[in-house]
Amino acid sequence: MKISAHIKLYSLAFLLLISNIATASSTRYQTPFEQAEWGFSGNRFICQIEHKVNGFGEFKLLAQPGLPLSLQLDADWLSFEQTTSLVKVVSPSWSKNDNFSAGATHLKWHGRTASSDDTTNQFLEALEQGLAWQALVQTYDGISYKVETSPINTQAIANKFKRCRQALLPKPFSYVRRVDIQFESGTSKLIAAHEVDLDAIAQYVQADSSVKEILVDAHTDASGEHLANLVLSKERADEVASRLVELGIQEQKIQVRHHGSRAPRVSNHSPEGRKLNRRVTIRLIKPHTKTADSSPTGVNHASL
């Protein structure tokens, strides 16, 4: 037992020694402070900070509507798949405090780009505090690289990024391109939850000129008479379209159709199914998104 314990201790010590040697022998990439630059670009769709690391690639911090912050490392000449690299917040290299760390996450590689959206807010805070980002990249054959930012004049960049982030659209196109608004039985009244989605749709359309058409298709469940359902679906379609116009969307962009109970999403044989079928579907159409599915058969009344 004693011999086995000694062997384990020696093995652990050996592994620690090898690890320390590997860390000490890592190739370091960092742009000289006198050459370091931080770039910022932004609009209502994306906010981005970029920092070039000479000889290796570029760090990026990105914010997009409805998504967590994303930290990204682009390599100029390395490519990986199904592997990760540790990235952490550290003291700037001139401080000589190698043991300091104010947070970390793992970047997942896809080709020449590694990214993470997990616990990345701390990297924005690091810029405000004049701290650095450091990625530890290890190749398949055991070669290690230490990639570090040069935190020069980062507070101003961080403030620009935060202001841009506050002005982002509420939701991305992937969300607003198709939204289903569900109604209570027998009513066309809009509620607070509907208003949130309609406002997000209106803001997106006003910001993106490539949206050429908005399709509003209204439906009911199979309860009640056919004609009554057709009238109710028209009331729902008109209510949604009118609200979108009130929120600033041009009336001529909106195509309104009502279908009654003729196009259920699911079976009407259960309360859950009927709830899903009582809906107005709003779709944003760009030139490259319109398909045959964008034009279901229904009563068309484009004029409000």
> Could you tell me which residue, 300 or 297, shows the higher pLDDT?
300
164: Cα within 13 Å, side-chain hemisphere = 21
Tell me if the domain spanning 173-300 has CATH number 3.40.30.20. no
DSSP 139: -
Q: Average model confidence (pLDDT) for the chain?
A: 88
CATH number assigned to the domain covering 27-166: 2.60.40.2540
How confident is the model over 256-279, as pLDDT tens digits?
Answer: 999 999 999 999 999 999 999 999
Model confidence band, residue 198 (pLDDT cutoffs 50, 70, 90): very high
Query: Cβ neighbours of residue 159 under 8 Å, at least 6 residues apart?
Result: 128
Res 93: pLDDT: 78
Which sequence spans correspond to the domains of the chain? 27-166, 173-300
The two tokens of residue 148 are 């570090």
Phi, then psi, of 180 in degrees rounded to 5: -105, 120
Range picked from 8-12, 114-118, 232-236 for highest mean pLDDT:
232-236
How confident is the model over 32-78, as pLDDT tens digits?
Answer: 999 999 999 999 999 999 999 999 999 999 999 999 999 999 999 99
How confident is the model over 222-258, as pLDDT tens digits?
Answer: 999 999 999 999 999 999 999 999 999 999 999 999 9
What is the rounded distance in angstroms from the CA atom of residue 247 to the CA atom of residue 206?
10
Res 26: pLDDT: 83
This prediction has a pTM of: 0.79
